[in-house]
Chain A
């Protein structure tokens, strides 16, 4: 086989691969092109030209959406809320996932079932009792107070997700470390976490997004306008029966930026495969 045909043999599957992926990108982003168009249209044009590109660019929409949506307050609040929740929730979830991934705890099944069941109870049923307690503790209108609730609600799923990655890690690594005299925490920190890292990052990303988009608790528990989050910004463009979709779309564009940043931050440093050295199977 000469070099040329070998080269070709590699190109075609690669092209096919990319073609399919590009198709998926069109599927995912195609409809959103409409959103971008609408973000830059003046509202008067929307009724007549809902799908097409704007005939005149209304870049002022972005500035208007920023101001009316009070993003200068809500964006930092949402970011703070995400950081608080992740800072508390990810370590807790990782610890618990580790504890549940090793078959040593009696009653682990009970806990697992409880966690799964608890994550299915609809949030609405929690509202009144939680609000009652939180207001007695003066924890309403408090971002840390809300973060505590988020941690409790989001960690069960994170535990399961991270655990499913931890469970796959071959025991030999852990055994080797223990033979070296490592205790539980060191095994966790030096062996398990690096190998389950992609899972931990994935769980963090999902937690971050859940906090970012959470609507019910954020609107009920945060009474002080200075603590409002990004979700409330989206509702500033609605009147009783209709919505200014150009500004709403512009607001969506504004929020994509921080979310993309979150995504990149939590997806970039993945570690593929095993770390340095192999495992000599004995």
Chain B
């Protein structure tokens, strides 16, 4: 999951309507995407690639400055020794300098807005933020590097498409994640609860859990207020179904469509009905460690959460000795859907003094060496066209399982869902996430909420800020 701070921007972003001035009146056709291809990715090393008009012959050199978020996954000693130092050692002509910044959001935006030449690498919280900054003219188009390094073959087409605006690639997606339902296998077995096959089954299980005196879904947003979106996304995709979500994202059906409304209402009922943490007001003050402890001890049966929290659950289960399991939340028709999350996107500062070296660094991260180094430093894998088996083997087995399942599902439409911080367009996303609590509190009606969401969607559409779907 992208960093807490970055997530806010990713989700709360509003692509500048102002940039309408930059775009043409005719919307450029979205790049056509094909399902992921089997076969080994073409890895090119710097300097030996297909020459483009301005490709340098000598390997890139010089200093590349990157700013890491102090609350992000990059702020751990393994990242420094395992990724940065390794890169610097194996690429002696270049030096990557990484500064850990506090309040990265404000620092980055201020620097970019003031035309600063550092940082060279712009680490963003996800493709949505990439779109925002690209439309605001802060990022360098990466097309020549895509051609040079073959990123369109290395990465899945749909992921690279996410970083594309008006036909140009502006940022490279990374940190592939998803959400699942973690559950206490020991309790399930003991009580004879069956793993649900459809969404209706899931609610039936939840009722059984409640009847047995436990909490069905242990959730909380005390430590991360935007966790609301995890559930918004899960319920939207799994109750309305991925096809309908895709239609709404493409504009084929409006956001006020009955299927969407039903999904939002369903979540509202679940949240208020006592299945969530034993009460909505408790949801707002429950921390992640409390969640994990509750599921691990059997006080709660399930928790909807992401791969980013797996370690927390595992720690808790180690303490209580009970068994942790996971399953993909099934949708209404019985498909075990996994929602795609892209937790980061890297771009190049348009004022960077060394874009070639910066691109080389980004490319290195996609190579074997890079992916293995990232895996060792607990960073998520990038959405590669072919899963890097060596790197995958370094992850915790359960996490590797989940991620492998996700990759398989991305090959088939209808098997995967769309998290809102990855696929929703900026203005719509802001409204969607900022007003859901009012819906849950009953202060805003579902039809009004969705009508306003639709209005925001249309503003994004007019500004050419829609995200491209696989």
Contacts and interface: CB of A to CB of B under 8 A. Distances in A.
Interface of A: 46-47, 124, 127-128, 131-132, 135, 215-216, 219-220, 223-225, 228, 231-232, 235-236, 238-243
B110 A128 contact: yes
Interface stretch (B69-77, B150-158, B357-365, B428-436): B69-77
A232 B106 CA distance: 14
Contact of B113 (A47, A128, A215, A231): A128
B290 A232 contact: no
Given A225-B99, A241-B4, A132 B107 contact: no
Interface centre among A220, A228, A231 (most CB of B within 10 A): A220
B309 A47 contact: no
B3 interface: yes
Contact of B118 (A215, A223, A242): A223
A127 B99 CA distance: 20
Nearest to A129: B114
A124 B351 CA distance: 23
A38 B141 CA distance: 49
Given A132-B115, A219-B106, A236-B70, A242 B288 contact: yes
Contacts of B107: 219-220, 223
A240 B100 contact: no
Interface string B223-241: 1100000000000000000
A231 B99 contact: no
B116 interface: yes
B308 interface: yes
B224 A131 contact: no
A179 to B, nearest CB: 55
Contacts of A241: 1, 4, 223-224, 288, 308-309
A232 B107 CA distance: 13
B445 interface: no
A215 to B, nearest CB: 7
A131 B290 contact: no
**Interface pairs A-B: 6 shortest CB-CB:** A219-B103, A132-B114, A235-B102, A232-B102, A131-B114, A128-B113
Nearest to B113: A128
B286 interface: no
A231 B102 contact: yes
B465 interface: no
A240 B71 contact: yes
A127 B101 CA distance: 16
Given A128-B110, A132-B115, A220-B110, A215 B103 contact: yes
Given A132-B114, A240-B1, A240-B3, 20 more contacts: A124-B106, A127-B106, A127-B110, A128-B114, A131-B113, A132-B113, A135-B116, A216-B103, A219-B106, A220-B106, A223-B118, A225-B100, A232-B70, A235-B70, A235-B71, A235-B102, A236-B70, A236-B75, A241-B223, A241-B308
B293 interface: yes
Contact of A223 (B99, B113, B290): B99
Contacts of A47: 289-290, 293
B322 interface: no
Contacts of A216: 103, 106
Contacts of A128: 110, 113-114
Give the size range of B's interface with the partner.
20 to 34
B10 to A, nearest CB: 13
Contacts of B312: 242
A238 to B, nearest CB: 5
Given A131-B111, A132-B115, A242 B223 contact: yes
A145 B251 CA distance: 51
10 contacts: A46-B289, A131-B113, A216-B106, A219-B102, A219-B106, A224-B99, A240-B3, A240-B73, A241-B223, A241-B288
Nearest to A216: B106
Residue of B100, B102, B107, B289 most packed against chain A (CB within 10 A)? B102
Contacts of B287: 242
Interface string B18-48: 0000000000000000000000000000000
B114 A238 contact: no
A219 B223 contact: no
A238 B71 contact: yes
Contacts of B309: 241
Contacts of B102: 219, 228, 231-232, 235
Nearest to A229: B102
A225 B71 CA distance: 16
Nearest to B221: A241
Contacts of B118: 223
Contacts of B111: 131, 220
Nearest to B319: A44
A133 B271 CA distance: 49
A242 to B, nearest CB: 5
B106 A240 contact: no
Contacts of B75: 236, 239
Given A235-B102, A242-B287, A131 B110 contact: yes
Nearest to B72: A240
Nearest to B118: A223
A155 to B, nearest CB: 23
A224 B99 CA distance: 8
Among the interface residues A132, A216, A223, A224, which one has the most CB atoms of the partner chain B within 10 A? Answer: A223
A224 B118 CA distance: 12
A8 B115 CA distance: 74
A247 to B, nearest CB: 14
